[in-house]
Chain A
Amino acid sequence: MKKHLKLLFVATIIIFMKGQGSSVKAQGIMGGHVTGNVQLDGQFSSRDSIIGATDVPEKMLSNVRADILYTNGNFSAGLRYEAYLNPMLGFDPSSKFKGQGIANYFVSYKTQNFTVTAGHFYEQFGNGMTLRAYEDRYLGIDNALRGVNVMYRPFRGITFKGVLGQQRYFWETRGLVRGVDGEVNLNDLITSWNESKTRLTLGGSFVSKYEDDETILSDMPGYKLQLPKNVGAASVRMDLAHGGFGLQAEYARKGQDPWLDNGYIYKPGEALWLSASYSQKGLSANIQAKRVDNMGFKSVRSVNERQMLYINYIPSITKQHTYAFLSMYPYGTQTTGEMGVQGDFIYKFKKESLLGGKYGTDIHLNASLITGLDTTLVGGKGTDGYTSSFFGTGETYYGDVSLEIAKKLSSKVKLSATYGYVLFNPVVEGHPGDIHHNHVLVADLTWKINRKNVLRFEAEWMGSDSKYSELVDDKRCGDWIMGLVEYNFTSAWFVSVSDQYAYNDGVGNYYNVSVGYTKGATRLQLGYGKQREGIICIGGVCRNVPASNGLTFSLTTSF
């Protein structure tokens, strides 16, 4: 049946396109377009006991993906082919992606006030605290819903959305998710507010999942848990702006939802997120705070894969660092419970001012602190599990402070210097140990020799109180230095050489040479060297990447 549906779908597209093709001749108007993108990643990895790379019996691993999109006016349709032969290291520890096939297909009809999509779709209600179906191709996350998605705008300023579907789970779909969302933009709705400097948007959503009963034994011998088959989550949100001021908030609650990660407890979940900001030209400040308590929301209760089948998304509020040593300990939200605050400050010293010099100086300051909740245990499986006080904080999970100063030294040389302090509790990754305290220094210098030749140098240092031990085997411990040189010839070619080396209390030497060629929207990159073990965070979500050692290649193109 599934196969037939796919064939029918493909046939529809081809008929559409053919029809379009002949009407081109008839009317001389071309309405339909095919676009797409292809991505091919591969690695030839060999064993290395020092960095912990394992043997790859098949010698080569590859991930391939191609999206084809057809649009014709209000109509669009798409297909995605994926192949994991075999999946790259770290992408898919359970090896359930192994294979190839059509992973995603949809047809969609869109007008300004109405959209309907059937097939796979991605959607987000508000900030995603009740529902966010999304994908991140580099992290192996694809929580696409397969079903029907509708958007309707009855009046200007009012938007309703509805979803009904099952979630992608590797090559299958599982669970059942239903949801509605409403949003009112008061400036659009109320004519006299149209031009007001104060802008206000209010919204709310309700999402419910259904799952059949299963046998989960309670802590009391001989009893099984009585599981709720339907679990609902709801949220309210606001977005207020007045000139340079902005205030955003969302509060979400979830009903009784015993599942694997919360230890099958019946305590309702809740989450609160706040963001306040002020900005003007050359100056801005942003403060965020959040509290998450038992708010992980999956469409299937008992599933092991950490990233799969999440219905909602609770963002980490910590800054997404991109320098290697600053991002060595990335932080992912603990959906079972955490509290956090974060602040960002950007300032530009003007040109020709005392601290600005000839070209001006940019500073960017950031700080964050994340802790657990202050909880009191009240029972195990089948009970409420624990109680928590709203303002109480538990043990420290993560903290950072960073100051980046960027300055153009001459018309050809730009320098950026960063100091960072990172505090990390390994308990958030599920293993015990002392908190790591790290100091990081980064210098990043770009030298534009002339219009075609650009050199970039990066030097990093990290001093840590953590020490490597074979027992814990955390290869991030110790004191590190790193150097990187990158040469660019026009925007087409680049070569980079880098090395990370543990000079004290650590193990490892990660050298890498990469060559890349870019033309238009096509990019080919080859690399040789050792890949660090650890979590890589892209787009705010983190995944473990085991070490690899050898040749890697990557090709991406859009058309």
Chain B
Amino acid sequence: MKKAILTITAMLFFGLSFAQNAKLPENISIKTLDGKTVETSVIQNDGKPIIVSFWATWCKPCNRELNAIKEVYEEWQEETGVKLVAISIDDTRSASKVKPHVDGNEWNYEVYLDQNQDFKRAMNVVNVPHTFLINGKGEIVWQHTSYVDGSEEELFELVKKLANGEEI
């Protein structure tokens, strides 16, 4: 078992030795709400920032976050051109409820289904909500897990920095 620990240490070391921002994976299959399979490369925003938010219909904090952002989404878009992409990790039990849930809550986000959780695993998401910020080059520059009322304002400060070309 020492081998395993050594291996992991070695991997971490090699990993960190050329640490830089990982890119958003491009070739993972996800589904649109009308059942079409697409690749994660469809997550694009013409060089402007993207928020990628992992959520589930049954997750209360996720719903609070997406409902809170809904109230200010138009302003955010006008000011920074940001786009929010919501990735549902609902499995078969609730996947067919995702479209009704999104429409019923009047969310104007781009929503995809990650039923087999391939995207979730590739992004190392442990719990939902888990939110990523992607810059214009498609690099993951920030991530955060959990949601507390009001923390969408912290998120927007970061989006504004990105839109202005600042480092975060």
Contacts and interface: CB of A to CB of B under 8 A. Distances in A.
Nearest to B100: A284
Given A110-B27, A451-B150, A521-B145, A241 B12 contact: no
A273 to B, nearest CB: 8
A277 B94 contact: no
Interface string A480-519: 0000000010110010000000000000000000000010
A346 B149 contact: no
A62 interface: no
A381 interface: no
A13 B122 CA distance: 17
A128 B92 contact: yes
Given A33-B22, A451-B150, A127 B104 contact: no
B117 interface: yes
A8 interface: no
A351 to B, nearest CB: 10
Contact of B148 (A37, A101, A123, A491): A491
Contacts of B23: 33
Given A14-B14, A17-B11, A518-B144, A281 B150 contact: no
B142 A520 contact: yes
A178 to B, nearest CB: 19
B144 A520 contact: yes
B17 interface: yes
Interface residues of A, number: 100
Nearest to B147: A491
Given A185-B37, A523-B145, A556-B127, A68 B8 contact: yes
A521 B104 contact: no
A540 B94 contact: yes
Contacts of A286: 96-97, 100
A13 B11 contact: yes
A393 interface: no
Contacts of B1: 100-101
Given A17-B11, A21-B17, A454-B148, A315 B106 contact: no
B13 to A, nearest CB: 10
Contacts of A520: 142-145
Contacts of A371: none
Nearest to B130: A521
A528 interface: no
A34 B12 contact: yes
A3 B23 CA distance: 33
Interface string A101-125: 1100000001110010000001110
Contact of B117 (A115, A122, A320): A122
A531 interface: no
A66 B104 contact: no
A556 B126 contact: yes
Contacts of B8: 66, 68, 79, 81
A20 interface: yes
Interface stretch (A53-61, A69-77, A162-170, A225-233): A69-77
B35 A277 contact: no
B151 to A, nearest CB: 4
A285 B106 CA distance: 14
A332 B151 CA distance: 35
Interface residues of B, number: 70
B136 interface: no
Interface string A253-295: 0000000000000000000000101111111111010000000
Nearest to B108: A281
B4 A20 contact: no
B63 to A, nearest CB: 9
Contacts of B164: none
Contacts of A414: 149
A415 to B, nearest CB: 13
B124 A69 contact: yes
A199 B124 contact: no
B10 interface: yes
A123 B117 CA distance: 9
A346 B93 contact: no
Contacts of B15: 17, 33-36, 68, 70
Contacts of A344: 97, 100
A301 to B, nearest CB: 25
A344 B60 CA distance: 17
A115 B28 CA distance: 10
A558 B35 contact: no
Given A33-B23, A67-B124, A151-B29, 18 more contacts: A17-B15, A30-B18, A34-B12, A36-B12, A36-B124, A37-B124, A66-B8, A102-B4, A102-B7, A246-B96, A246-B99, A280-B103, A322-B59, A344-B97, A490-B150, A491-B154, A539-B93, A558-B124
Interface of A: 7, 10, 13-14, 17-18, 20-21, 24, 30, 32-37, 39, 66-71, 74, 76, 79, 81, 100-102, 110-112, 115, 122-124, 127-128, 132, 134, 137, 151, 159, 183, 185, 187-188, 199, 201, 239, 241, 244, 246, 248, 275, 277-286, 288, 313, 315-317, 319-320, 322, 344, 346-348, 362, 364, 414, 446, 448, 451-452, 454, 456, 488, 490-491, 494, 518, 520-521, 523, 539-540, 556, 558-559
Which 6 A-B residue pairs are closest in the complex by CB-CB distance? A34-B15, A346-B104, A284-B100, A279-B103, A491-B151, A540-B93
22 contacts: A17-B14, A17-B15, A21-B14, A37-B126, A68-B12, A69-B122, A70-B15, A71-B22, A74-B27, A122-B121, A127-B92, A159-B37, A187-B36, A246-B96, A248-B96, A288-B96, A362-B105, A491-B146, A491-B148, A520-B143, A521-B144, A558-B126
Interface of B: 1, 3-5, 7-8, 10-12, 14-18, 20, 22-23, 25, 27-29, 34-37, 39, 57-60, 64, 91-97, 99-106, 115-118, 121-127, 130, 142-151, 153-154
